Amino acid sequence: MSYLSSLPDDAVLMDVFKLHPRTSRPLLDYHEVVMRGPAPFTVAERELIAAYVSGVNSCGYCHGVHAVTAEVCGIAEGAAPAAVADLDTAPVPERMRPVLRYAGKLTRTPAAITRADAEEVLAAGWDEEALHFAVMVCALFNFMNRMVEGHGITAGPEYFAKSGQRLKDTGYAGLNRLLDA
């Protein structure tokens, strides 16, 4: 249930964006750069990181939306929730495990991140740009999780499926275009 009386009880994040376009447009532009622009990670891998971080944060809305988005972009069905439950046995690409482990630690205990944590990502074959993108996706979704939870935004599987497909089809730039609708 939304905590803003100007929004309906069943408000979704797009409703917050439409209510506050001045802060939403640059945020969605940034999403487009981080989540859809050129990067060492595929779109599906970035969506998996987003879903994983959101699951670690227990943000059901973001975890649901981005787990579906990761799946429709090519990640194995159920991989994101399985990774949150047990990263070592989840059906995620082996090379992504250290990335997700890094993002999880950065989410849970950011001050505890060490060079050794970064070295684990690099040892898996990722370069420094990949580490940078992992940090940026992680940071963005820690922000988004707090935005969603702070506004009281919730939804269920039907909305997650619709939103995940929309993100695959239009990216985050498409959400910005919806602000004009």
Q: What local confidence, expressed as pLDDT, does residue 179 receive?
A: 85
Give me the pLDDT at residue 28, please: 97
What is the DSSP annotation of the chain?
--S-TTS-TT--HHHHHHH-HHHHHHHHHHHIIIIISS-SS-HHHHHHHHHHHHHHTT-HHHHHHHHHHHHHTTSPTTHHHHHHH-TTTSSS-GGGHHHHHHHHHHHH-GGG--HHHHHHHHHTT--HHHHHHHHHHHHHHHHHHHHHHHHT----HHHHHHHHHHHHHHHHHHHHHHTT-
State which residues form the domain around 118: 13-170
180: in domain: no
Per residue in 74-90, pLDDT tens?
A: 999 999 999 999 999 99
**Would residue 108 count as lying in a domain?**
yes
Tally the domains of the chain: 1
User: Residue 180: pLDDT band by 50, 70, 90 thresholds?
Assistant: confident
Measured CA to CA, the distance from residue 35 to residue 72 in angstroms comes to 15
CATH number of the domain to which 84 belongs: 1.20.1290.10
With 80 as the cut, is the pLDDT of residue 181 above it? no
Contacts of residue 94, defined as CB under 8 A and 6 or more positions apart, other chains included, come to 124
In a domain, 56, yes or no: yes
pLDDT mean across residues, the chain: 96
pTM of the model: 0.97
Write the pLDDT tens digit of every residue in 19-77: 999 999 999 999 999 999 999 999 999 999 999 999 999 999 999 999 999 999 999 99
Looking up tokens 């447009």 gives 25
